[in-house]
Amino acid sequence: MIKVVLPTDFSENAFHAIAYALKLLHNHTCRFYLVHTYTPPIYRVDYTLGSPGQLGLPDVQRNSAEEALEDTIEKIRPLSNPAKHTFVSHAAFNTLAEEMDSISHKEGIDFIVMGTQGATGAMEILFGSNTVQVIQKSAVPVLMIPSDFEYEPPRNILFPTDYEVDYQKAHLDFLLKFSKLEHSKLHILHISSPEGLDEGQVNQKVRLEGKLLEHNHEFYDLPDQELIAAINAFQEKQPVDLLVMVKNKHSFLERLFLEPVIKKIGLYSKVPFMVLPIPLE
């Protein structure tokens, strides 16, 4: 069984991401956890002492969230496969990132699917602060769906890499299993530096090649250039249905998320974007 968390704020954008997950996994046995987090408008002292329910106080927000979650489940049932899909609703007084991390560990979640805030320019996806925080904290893969993306099976997956990732530790096995859902082809994109690969990179490339032996894939080496420009140029020649990157300590992606001056992160792509975590040392 595949276990997937679907965070929702009950917006159309969140519903769009949920619909993507249901279509993607239509023929697979899955348990979907619909999760909504909330905090009270005014942080009352009783919340610091114990839950309102324990104190006999009405938890209006929890009740409202639970009702909205049940309404959402009824709304998405026509899109689901009743023979293979089950749903669990979960409302929590917590931040989204903390609750995603907690439920992922407790329930053995395989991955998270959530919406982005949508396109803000010609080809730009803007990730909101909640999304960034979930990516930073999550120990499981996070799949983000643009609000204007019309569902297409992820038959072609673009995987940019600098060969500095430890493929023994990264969630690469998840990516390989994911690619089998739609018999996808993996396009491995590397931007060559003038110095070429060092010994460590060569070793990691060999490990990656070994893991891909039984999977449909192709390697590409592009001349030295900015990563986003390379991704954009690649997609002009080869249609891509999903972009996947690894969030490791020194990667391009991690630097983007950690730089304090960057309040919004734009990747010039209108396709779903998956981030694979790597365990902390």
- Find the CATH number of the domain harbouring 127: 3.40.50.620
137, 138, 142, 145: CA torsion to nearest 10: -40
Can you tell me the mean pLDDT for 245-264? 52
Q: 213 and 157: one domain?
A: yes
* CB count in 10 Å sphere of residue 233: 13
pLDDT at 280 over 90: no
More confident residue, 32 or 92: 32
Say how many domains are in the chain.
2
Instruction: Give domain status of residue 255, yes or no.
Output: no
Q: 162 and 28: one domain?
A: no
H or E element in which residue 280 lies:
none
Can you tell me the mean pLDDT for 12-25? 95
Task: List the domain range (segments joined by +) for residue 118.
Answer: 1-148
51, 52, 54, 57: CA torsion to nearest 10: 180
Per the prediction, the chain carries an average pLDDT of: 82
**Are 192 and 220 within 8 A, CB to CB?**
no
Beta-carbon-side half-sphere exposure of residue 226 (alpha carbons within 13 Å): 5
**Are 164 and 201 within 8 A, CB to CB?**
yes
More confident residue, 279 or 205: 205
d(CA 125, CA 144): 10
pLDDT at 258 over 60: no
- 194: confidence class by pLDDT, cuts 50, 70, 90: confident
pLDDT at 260 over 50: no
User: What are the distances in angstroms from CA 148 to CA 14, 58, 129, 229, 246?
Assistant: 12, 39, 19, 22, 24
d(CA 277, CA 150): 26
- 99: confidence class by pLDDT, cuts 50, 70, 90: very high
- 20: confidence class by pLDDT, cuts 50, 70, 90: very high
The mean-pLDDT minimum among 117-126, 131-140, 197-206 falls in 117-126
Looking at residue 130, its pLDDT comes to: 74
* CB count in 10 Å sphere of residue 148: 12
Looking at residue 100, its pLDDT comes to: 93
Q: 138 and 158: one domain?
A: no
- 261: confidence class by pLDDT, cuts 50, 70, 90: very low
Cα 222 to the chain's mean position, in Å?
26
Outline where the chain has alpha helix (H): 12-24, 45-49, 60-76, 96-107, 129-137, 172-181, 199-211, 227-237, 252-258
Q: 7 and 60: one domain?
A: yes
Structure tokens at 173: 């096995």
Q: 8 and 131: one domain?
A: yes
Looking at residue 107, its pLDDT comes to: 96
Can you tell me the mean pLDDT for 110-136? 66
pLDDT at 275 over 60: yes
Could you tell me which residues are beta bridge partners of residue 248? Answer: none
Could you tell me which residues are beta bridge partners of residue 93? Answer: 38
